[in-house]
Structure 1
Amino acid sequence: MDRIYANPSMAVVALWISATTSEERPIRVIRRAPDRITEFGAACFVSDTTMVDVRVHDLPDPRPGDLIVIGADSFTIQGEPLRDRERLIWSLELRPS
């Protein structure tokens, strides 16, 4: 896993900023942009999403409202962070800030 997150083709450097304290730290994230299908009555809507995967080791306690800055783009964590089955990776849904 260290090799994947160290690979510049897979992961990028980001900055995590806490919404409740003045704490911030650099992290490495794998950025994803899956489509989300939402059903409303008989209609289906496809919308873009922004997700990042970050190691629990690098970011032990992300919370909704925290900021993730990737390059010049700022995002807010939306919804509850979810861990994978092995409890090694957080999946964070982001919205533009």
Structure 2
Amino acid sequence: MSAFANATAALFRDPNLAQDAIWRSGGADAPVAVRVMLRRPDAVMSFGEGRFVTDSVMIDVECAALGALAPGDTFEIGGVIYEVRGEPLRDAMRHVWKAEAREV
């Protein structure tokens, strides 16, 4: 395992940064326990001449914890279910999946 992979794993073990979650492929497959980082940044959307600030939900999860991540997959975090929207992206080192999600 590379130094970057070790550092990523350490970040996801840190209770101040990550939390326990349950992942289900397609929202219905067998539950898999994972660690995730849940972020809720403001997003700026443009529409015509206007710019609007809206809430967003982003979920980061280690690639090593999941073989693949796809739209329709769900994460249960603290009793709330989030569904992955759009295509998840991996970081440049291919260690972390980054997915936009919505509360179901």
Task: Judge same fold: TM > 0.5, yes or no.
Answer: yes
Partner of 1:89: 96
The two structures have a TM-score, normalised by structure 1, of 0.93
- Equivalent in the alignment of 1:38: 45
Distance of 1:80 and 1:18 partners within structure 2: 14
Runs of 4+ aligned structure 1 residues displaced above 3 Å come to none
- What residue in structure 2 maps to residue 73 of structure 1? 80
Say if 2:30 is the partner of 1:23.
Answer: yes
CA RMSD of aligned residues (A): 1.2
The structure with the greater share of residues assigned to strand is: 1
For residue 67 of structure 1, what is the amino acid of its counterpart? Answer: T
Structure 2 equivalent of residue 62 of structure 1: 69
Aligned residues: 97
How far has the Cα of 1:20 moved from its partner?
A: 6.9
Is 1:51 the equivalent of 2:52?
Answer: no
- Alpha carbons 2:27, 2:83 under 8 Å: kept: no
1:51–1:20 Cα change, 3 Å? closer
Q: TM-score, normalised by structure 2?
A: 0.87
Query: What CA distance in whole angstroms lies between the structure 2 residues aligned with 1:89 and 1:55?
Result: 5
**Identical aligned pairs, as a percentage?**
35
Partner residue of 1:14?
A: 21
